[in-house]
């Protein structure tokens, strides 16, 4: 049986965040190895038919929380001997070899050069390939502005033409690595990423509400992306991302519900197994929760290059990256223990899996920009309230 907790403190955090206008809405869920120990929500999502309350059954675009799911699909291929993390990406997807390194600008003219080494599949999983995102790299944003190259949001395959911004293996640079990893997975599997994830992860785990493209019946249950006006009121920015992109994005493409995604978290918490179904070997899960940067340093902060999209990510010391997961190397007072695995999504969704304490949790809004002071406070307050209730 799941442990019993008093969730009143978490309820108060959620309702207070919405009442003070810090977020438009929020849903939160927590579980241990045996089941859900808390679920709650506050606020509404704006729809064509009027405001609707959010719940842990609402569909959210989970954006980069997709990355750990796609990484799990790749790790399954590794376990079967179909994929070698040490091989160059170009061995699986030859067009990767065409990418060059952006080495600055002469005025508005980009300077490009060949990379000094080949990026491996592991470099993709650990964000050390040299690929980046425009919103956290000013040079890449300028490159896309002056060349007209689309970023990944419109779902145009041309986004894969983005250059590297560092030589492979030299630094952690968060970017479109997992979108390229999805292409690798597809080449190995001989089918599309949606099929691979359905057959290997969401299907076996009973995550029937987790998918790239929502069917008509689920579209009405979806939270639009919300933005805050100058008067503090929240309005709908609509869908933002297309429902029919030219590729299924391993980096950001999934929709899910809190009740669905917590099953994936619990599988990681339990060493790769849930309800008698194993999606990863325990040793693979252990590796995912282990420092995998091979000497590349995790930055203490990543400056925003596009404030309407995201704020600056400030981590400080004591963080690293595993397989698809941000890892804290020390205990956080009153919160997650050392070697908890976590990550987030650009529309303000967050999850963490604390194997030492034996709990996992996730928190959902669908709003922009990412990393506002108010939203960041909410995530910390929910985590503190959860741990104080244990």
Active site residue 132: no
The rounded distance, in Å, linking the Cα atoms of 368 and 370 is 5
- Whether the CB-CB separation of 37 and 30 falls below 8 Å is answered with yes
**Cis before residue 369, ω within 30 degrees of 0?**
yes
3-state secondary structure of 103: strand
For 276, residues 6+ apart whose C-beta sits below 8 A from its C-beta are none
The rounded distance, in Å, linking the Cα atoms of 285 and 170 is 25
Instruction: Give the count of beta carbons closer than 10 Å to the beta carbon of residue 115.
Output: 19
The rounded distance, in Å, linking the Cα atoms of 25 and 42 is 6
What are 347's two structure tokens? 């529309």
Active site residue 67: yes
Q: What is the DSSP string of 185-243?
A: HHHHHTS-HHHHHIIIIITTTT-TT-BSS--HHHHTTBPPPEEE-TTS-EEE----S-S
Cα dihedral value 317, 319, 320, 321, nearest 10: -150
Exactly one of 64, 132, 304, 362 is catalytic; which is it?
A: 64
Residue with tokens 């089918």: 191
Q: What would the 3-class secondary structure string for 342-357 be?
A: EEEECCCEEEEEECCC
Exactly one of 38, 92, 174, 261 is catalytic; which is it?
A: 174
Q: Are strands 35-45 and 25-32 parallel, antiparallel or unpaired?
A: antiparallel
Axis-axis angle for helices 66-79, 177-189 (nearest 10): 40
Active site residue 367: no
What are 156's two structure tokens? 């145009």
- Whether the CB-CB separation of 223 and 59 falls below 8 Å is answered with yes
The rounded distance, in Å, linking the Cα atoms of 343 and 54 is 22
Exactly one of 38, 67, 122, 387 is catalytic; which is it?
A: 67
Catalytic annotation, residues = 64, 67, 174
């Amino acid at each position: 049986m799941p442990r019993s907790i008093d969730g009143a403190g978490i309820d108060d955090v959620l309702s207070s965040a919405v009442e003070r206008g810090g977020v438009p809405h929020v849903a939160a869920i927590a579980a241990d190895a045996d089941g859900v120990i808390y679920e709650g929500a506050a606020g509404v999502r704006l729809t064509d038919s009027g405001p609707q309350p959010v719940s842990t059954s609402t569909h959210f675009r989970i954006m980069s929380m997709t990355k750990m799911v796609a990484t799990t699909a790749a790790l399954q291929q590794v376990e079967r001997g179909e994929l070698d993390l040490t091989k160059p990406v170009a061995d699986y997807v030859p067009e990767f070899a065409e990418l060059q390194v952006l080495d600055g600008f002469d005025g508005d003219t980009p300077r490009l050069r060949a990379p000094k080494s080949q990026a491996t599949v592991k470099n993709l999983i650990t964000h050390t390939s040299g690929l980046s995102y425009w919103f956290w790299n000013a040079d890449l944003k300028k490159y896309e502005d002056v060349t007209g190259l689309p970023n990944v949001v419109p779902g145009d395959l041309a986004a894969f033409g983005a250059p590297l911004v560092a030589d492979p293996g030299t630094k952690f640079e968060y970017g479109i690595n997992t979108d390229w990893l999805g292409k690798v997975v597809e080449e190995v599997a001989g089918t599309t990423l949606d099929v691979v994830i359905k057959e290997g992860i969401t299907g076996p785990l009973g995550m029937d509400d987790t998918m790239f493209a929502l069917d008509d019946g689920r579209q009405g249950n979806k939270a639009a992306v919300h933005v805050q006006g100058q008067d503090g009121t929240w309005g709908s920015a609509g869908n933002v991302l297309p429902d029919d992109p030219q590729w299924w994005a391993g980096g950001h493409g999934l929709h899910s519900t809190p009740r669905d995604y917590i099953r994936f978290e619990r599988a990681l918490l339990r060493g790769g197994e849930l309800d008698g179904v194993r999606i990863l070997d325990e040793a693979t899960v252990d590796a995912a929760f282990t420092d995998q940067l091979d000497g590349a340093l995790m930055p203490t902060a990543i400056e925003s290059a596009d404030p309407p999209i995201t704020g600056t990510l400030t981590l400080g010391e004591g963080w690293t990256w595993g397989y698809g997961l941000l890892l804290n190397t020390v205990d956080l007072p009153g919160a997650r223990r050392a070697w908890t695995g976590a990550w987030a999504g650009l529309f303000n969704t967050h999850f963490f899996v604390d194997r030492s304490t034996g709990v996992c949790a996730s928190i959902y809004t669908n709003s922009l920009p990412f990393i506002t002071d108010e939203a960041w406070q909410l995530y910390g307050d929910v985590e503190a309230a959860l741990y104080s209730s244990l």
